[in-house]
Each structure stands twice: as C-alpha cells, then as structure tokens.
Amino acid sequence: MAIENGTYIKLSYTGSVNGVAFDTTDSDVAKTAKIFRENAVYGPSVVKVGAGHLLPGLDEELAGKEIGKEYTVVLPAEKAFGEHKTEDMKAVDKKAFEKKPELFERVKIEGRDGVVVNKIGSRFLVDFNHPLAGQEVTYVYTIESIVEDGTEKLTGIIKLITGRDMKVDASDKTFVSIEIPAMMAMYNQNWFMTQYMISQEAFADFPEIENVKFVESFPRPKAKTEEEPADVKAAE
C-alpha cells in the first residue's frame, strides 16, 4: 500500500551529513554518533505526510512509498536547512554580551541563536544561519506503519511539537483533555502558540469535539527528611 499525503504514519529515520549522524529516532545510533540525549524519547515519530512536520525534501519524499521498506534520500540544501545566507551573519558589539564569548560558542542575541565565528576589533561576528545551512543532507528512513487512532495521532504530534510525552484523554465525546507538565510555559517560551497548534490538531483528529482542555497539575513537594545525627566518638 502506497502512502498518500494526509496520512498519519510512524516514521523511523536517521539524518546525516558527510556520513555523520545529527538526528535519529534510534537510541543506539544516537549513542554511537555521540548525540544521545538522556531526556529525549526515542522510537518512531508520528507525522502527517505533507503537513510540513519534517524537512521539506523529506516530507515530499514520503508520498508514494511503501510500508516497511528502507529508503535513502539525499536532500540539497534548499530542501533541507536552507542555503547559507551572508545577510544572516552580523557583527555584534562586545557590550551586547553578558560575558566575553569564545570563538565557536553558541550565543543568543536579541532572541536569535547563533555561533560566534570571528572577532573584529571590539565586535564579534555571529552566524545566525542554521548550523547545517548550505549542506547536503542524507536521510535513511522506514515507514513503520499507518496510524489511524485519533488519540495516538494527537499524542504523537504533541511529542513531535514539544519533545514531550503528554497523556491524551478522548473518552468524553465533547472535549479532549491533555495533561501537561507543571510549569510548561517556563520550558516553552512559545507555549501559547504551541497550545494553539495542538488545539488545531485535536480538532482535526476529533471532528465531533467542541473544546480542548489543557490540564496542568502541580504535585505537592516532597517533605524534607531530617538528617540522622552523625556518630560522635566517645572521649577516650
């Protein structure tokens, strides 16, 4: 069965540049490439084909492919992380930094992430391009299965958007509730926009519902236990 645009699928993949992996759904590959993250959740990702959930070149590649077959695609820069643009390199005065940056240090200036690539007098040249901009990217991928259950679709897309697992309850026919981690707005500076995106996905997956509820719980802090007194040696 060939995959069509609009289909929800489980996708396993590894992206690499010059043979070096930079992104993967396989924890073993991540460990070998030394890009493993302890807090990351590995395993196939749920994506909607043609919905822009992936790099443009990879997203376009999926339609027409078969389930269970391994494919390899090479994406040119313009279909991956974009061309490297000289206008996205900027000389920044040293006063803009909290402390003097080192060469090739990642910094955030005016809300933008960049890398310090050179020092010119009292200014530092910061490259705001994506680190892989201008590079050809290779993906090896497998479409593992089609996802048809609405709860599984929404749970997977939430994980794709936020990088976190959240419990979805669709047992009530009028609304869907989503349990979110405490202080989520602190972890995600664009949380209001993220909530909107998740809500639109929920309405698409569950046409009969009227509302989406985000349920945030704050667990009671654990009581501190008193430390046992240290043993005191008896005076000789």
Domain ranges of the chain: 1-82+132-148, 86-127, 149-221
Residue 109 DSSP symbol: E
What is the mean pLDDT of the segment spanning 138-161? Answer: 96
Reported as a single tens digit per residue, the pLDDT across 61-119 is 999 999 999 999 999 999 999 999 999 999 999 889 988 899 999 999 888 899 999 99
Check if the beta carbon of residue 178 is closer than 8 Å to that of residue 39.
Answer: no
The alpha carbon of 202 is separated from its chain's Cα centroid by a whole number of angstroms, namely: 19
Q: pLDDT-derived band of residue 232, with 50, 70 and 90 as boundaries?
A: very low
Cα(184)–Cα(166) distance, integer angstroms: 11
Kindly report whether the global pTM for this prediction surpasses the value 0.85.
no
Residue 127: CA count within 13 A, CB half-sphere: 19
Cα(191)–Cα(185) distance, integer angstroms: 5
How would you classify residue 175: left for phi > 0, otherwise alpha for psi between -120 and 50, otherwise beta? beta
What is the mean pLDDT of the segment spanning 128-152? Answer: 96
Question: Looking at domain 1-82+132-148, which of 3.40.50.10140, 3.10.50.40, 3.40.50.10860, 1.25.40.10 is its CATH number?
Answer: 3.10.50.40
Cα(23)–Cα(26) distance, integer angstroms: 9
Please list, residue by residue across 4-20, b when 16 or more beta carbons sit within 10 angstroms of its beta carbon and e when fewer do: eeebbbbbbbbbbbeee
Beta-bridge partners for 125 = 91, 118
Cα(48)–Cα(33) distance, integer angstroms: 27
- As a whole number, the mean pLDDT across the chain is 91
Domain 149-221, architecture per CATH: 2-Layer Sandwich (3.30)
